[in-house]
Amino acid sequence: MKMTTGDKRRELHDKATRGKELSGEEKQQLENWYSQQDRMESEALQQTTQESLLVGLQSQIEAALAQLVKLTGRIQEVASENEKIRNENAVLLHQLSQQARQRPA
């Protein structure tokens, strides 16, 4: 069975953690492998963090949209109420002007 590069590096790691001597080249290979493992782990963590951030942002966007829908409905209600009040004011103003014309001076 052929040993892969990863197997060789794991073997070097095993040797080093058991206190066995490594050659200069083996030490360099092991350090390179550790650096590679650290980069891969960091990238995986960063991707997970970014995915979590996106999920959180999506939730915030959905909540903001729901709030906008609610506020838009309330604005429409207020606009309708304002229109009714304007109409009532117009009627009252008309009645007032009619009464003013009917009064003797």
CB 12 within 8 A of CB 30: yes
What pLDDT digit, counting tens, does each position of 5-30 carry? 778 888 888 888 888 898 999 889 98
What pLDDT digit, counting tens, does each position of 62-101 carry? 999 999 999 999 999 999 999 999 999 999 999 999 998 9
CB 30 within 8 A of CB 16: yes
Instruction: Count other C-beta atoms under 10 Å from residue 12's C-beta.
Output: 20
Instruction: Count other C-beta atoms under 10 Å from residue 30's C-beta.
Output: 19
Q: Which residue has the tokens 């490594």?
A: 22
Burial (Cβ within 10 Å: 0-12, 13-18, ≥19) of residue 13:
middle
The half-sphere exposure of 85 on its side-chain side, counting CA atoms within 13 A, is 6
12-16, 31-35, 36-40, range with the lowest pLDDT = 12-16
Q: Give the domain ranges of the chain.
A: 5-102
